[in-house]
Amino acid sequence: MTDLPPTERSRLRRVHERGRYDRATIDRILDAGLICHVGYVIDGLPYVTPTIYWREGDRVYWHGSSASRMLRRSEGEQVCLTVTHLDGLVLARSAFHHSANYRSVMLFGRAELVADKADKLARLQAFVEGLYPGRWKQLRPITGREIKATTVLSLPIAEGSAKLRAGPPIDDEADYALPVWAGVIPARTALGQPEPCPRAPADMMPLAPETTFPEG
């Protein structure tokens, strides 16, 4: 695991002090999320698609239907993948200085297809087990048709950056004396209690006891 050298695409040009290029920060932000947005270009038009992702080592993976135009056209193309976590709303003493506390990652590179059937199966298993430890062995085995119907793409973590903001509002010095409330309203994404399928046996455990979810 090595830090990412800033490039023309990844270097932060505004509020650069919020930027991070170390893999520890980038990986921590990636591992805390479930949804990314992948930007790509088709026939000269830009598109951004939200999708579930996961990280394994030095790569980020995402998957979808083999019939998906986005996945078919993204293979081998330059893409931009972003992940963002909202941590709080920052209320300042002026509208101009209102902000948000957040953690984000932006990665650049060429999307690569996971073509080998065994490799694709291993990646999908890692995806499921990463979210729900022990669940893969509980499931009906995936069929060859299902594997064929699923496309898995990956992006190496080789070019990109993280950007973060934390802490209270930063006001103009003269504004601190104003009788205006200022501070942070924390924000957090959390998963609730499992809601069983109406056709699931009532006495079955929904997930393995060791299952944990990423902190959003």
Listed in sequence order, the residues at least 6 apart from 205 whose beta carbon sits closer than 8 Å to its beta carbon are none
Q: Residue 208's pLDDT is what?
A: 55
Listed in sequence order, the residues at least 6 apart from 5 whose beta carbon sits closer than 8 Å to its beta carbon are 21
Q: Is residue 212 part of a domain?
A: no
Q: Residue 90's pLDDT is what?
A: 98
Q: Residue 42's pLDDT is what?
A: 82
Q: Residue 214's pLDDT is what?
A: 54
CATH number reported for the structural domain that contains residue 154 in this entry: 2.30.110.10
Contact 59, 107 (CB under 8 A): no
Q: Is residue 110 part of a domain?
A: yes
Q: Is residue 156 part of a domain?
A: yes
Q: Is residue 141 part of a domain?
A: yes
Alpha-carbon distance 75 to 114, whole Å? 10
Q: Is residue 8 part of a domain?
A: no
- Positions in the chain whose pLDDT score sits under 70: 1, 205-216
Domain hosting 107: range is 16-186
Q: Is residue 79 part of a domain?
A: yes
Question: How far, in Å, are 55, 66, 80, 93, 110 from residue 178 at the CA level?
Answer: 46, 58, 42, 7, 51
Q: Residue 211's pLDDT is what?
A: 53
Alpha-carbon distance 129 to 136, whole Å? 6
DSSP-assigned beta bridge partners for residue 90? 99, 184
Q: Is residue 202 part of a domain?
A: no
Alpha-carbon distance 209 to 212, whole Å? 9
pTM of the complete model beyond 0.85: yes
Q: Is residue 206 part of a domain?
A: no
- Count how many domains the chain has: 1
Q: Residue 67's pLDDT is what?
A: 87
